[in-house]
């Protein structure tokens, strides 16, 4: 199936909304998508399945305005680890980061995160310094979730149109090279758990028993493979399944890389645009570490009918 971005009208038929969504999601690209409906249940179903970075309800699907509808697609409509143009995270992707101690005091609400911290503490998994690092990181993640990622928000508040930026959990392959520390790997896992995102690990050296127990308990698959084997895999055919991801193709994968040789990773990938590599040093900042595990989606909804307020969408998608 081919997606045309231009003044071209193509008409397709579907027996159900579910079938229509499958057709809409079928192209390899996911820049914009639209739905015309006044049925809240239809809207809820569509929003739960549509695969596009900018989605529109009861209006045209072009003419995005910076800040109202930060722009950037999904799938092959995006390249690399960038974030939406005109969105609150745009400059984050254009910056370099170094680790400093987080000052957040928020209590992690994720049961999975609290269980990992308890296991790390009780099993003497790491030093007191490393445990303090993980605890501060988890608090920063919780604060980032409460202030940014956990809610859709509408900065423009036009009234007649709702423009909501929300974050959707997405699958990530975490790669910890032979040079990576266990604490850094666990910290990244904490960020993924806080985001509620599916993930898998590829590690350059075997993990302590307690860490393996954490991963198995959370249903996180992991694979031990040397740096050489890992890079050889990256250089393989695009359709080769990611072993640690239980058969998911490498194509379209997000990789959170923990190591000191990202250049060799890019060399092995051969400049492929469909694999996003997040390689900044591991930090305690949830606002940074959770981004690889979340896709931004801008939702624009016409909130009136012929000038009369129409709040039908408010029961489906909330905003602040």
Q: Is 66 found in the same domain as 134?
A: no
Q: Tell me the range of 38-47, 55-64, 91-100 where mean pLDDT is highest.
A: 38-47
Question: Are 171 and 300 a contacting pair, CB within 8 Å?
Answer: no
Does the structure show a pLDDT above 70 at 261?
A: yes
Q: Is 105 found in the same domain as 229?
A: yes
Residues 187, 190, 195, 196, Cα dihedral to 10° = 140
Q: What percent of the chain has pLDDT over 90?
A: 72
Residue span of the structural domain in which 31 resides = 17-79+152-167+295-315
pLDDT at 239: 53
Q: What is the CATH number of the domain that holds 180?
A: 3.40.605.10
Q: What is the mean pLDDT of the chain?
A: 91
d(CA 225, CA 26): 34
Q: Is 175 found in the same domain as 256?
A: yes
Q: Is 198 left (phi over 0), alpha (psi -120 to 50) or beta?
A: beta
Check: pTM over 0.85? Answer yes or no. Answer: yes
Confidence of residue 246 (pLDDT cuts 50, 70, 90): very low
Q: What is the pLDDT of residues 139-166, one digit of tens each?
A: 999 999 999 999 999 999 999 999 999 9
Domain count, the chain: 2
Does the structure show a pLDDT above 90 at 242?
A: no
Burial label for 3, CB within 10 Å (0-12, 13-18, 19+), is: middle
d(CA 24, CA 30): 9
Helices 209-217 and 182-195: angle between axes, nearest 10 degrees:
10
Residue for token pair 């501060």: 136
| CA-angle at 194, arms to 188 and 196, nearest 5° | 105
Q: Is 174 found in the same domain as 38?
A: no
Q: Is 307 found in the same domain as 200?
A: no
Q: Is 191 found in the same domain as 260?
A: yes
3-state secondary structure of 257: strand
């Amino acid at each position: 199936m081919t997606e045309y971005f231009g003044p071209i009208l193509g008409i397709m038929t579907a027996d159900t909304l579910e079938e229509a969504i499958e057709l809409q999601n079928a192209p390899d690209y996911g820049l914009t998508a639209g739905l015309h409906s006044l049925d809240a249940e239809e809207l809820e179903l569509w929003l739960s399945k549509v695969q596009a970075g900018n989605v529109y309800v009861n209006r045209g699907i072009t003419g995005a305005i910076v800040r109202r509808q930060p722009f950037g697609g999904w799938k092959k409509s995006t390249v690399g680890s960038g974030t939406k143009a005109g969105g609150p995270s745009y400059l984050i992707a254009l910056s370099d980061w170094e680790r400093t101690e987080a000052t957040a005091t928020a209590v992690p609400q994720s049961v999975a995160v609290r269980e990992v911290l308890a296991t790390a503490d009780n099993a003497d998994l790491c030093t007191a310094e490393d445990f303090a690092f993980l605890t501060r990181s988890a608090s920063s993640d919780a604060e980032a979730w409460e202030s940014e990622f956990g809610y859709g928000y509408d900065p423009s508040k036009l009234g007649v149109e709702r423009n909501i930026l929300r974050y959707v959990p997405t699958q990530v392959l975490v790669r910890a090279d032979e040079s990576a520390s266990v604490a850094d790997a666990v910290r990244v896992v904490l960020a993924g758990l806080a985001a509620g995102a599916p993930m898998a690990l590829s590690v350059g050296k075997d993990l302590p028993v307690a860490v393996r127990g954490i991963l198995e308990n959370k249903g996180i698959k992991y694979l031990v493979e040397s740096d050489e084997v890992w890079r050889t895999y990256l250089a393989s055919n695009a359709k080769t399944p990611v072993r640690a991801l239980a058969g998911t193709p490498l194509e379209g994968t997000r990789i959170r890389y923990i190591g000191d040789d990202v250049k060799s990773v890019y060399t092995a990938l051969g400049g492929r645009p469909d694999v996003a590599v997040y390689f900044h040093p591991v930090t305690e900042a949830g606002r940074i570490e959770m981004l690889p595990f979340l896709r931004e989606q801008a939702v624009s909804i016409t909130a009136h009918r012929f000038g009369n307020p129409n709040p039908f969408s408010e029961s489906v998608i909330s905003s602040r």
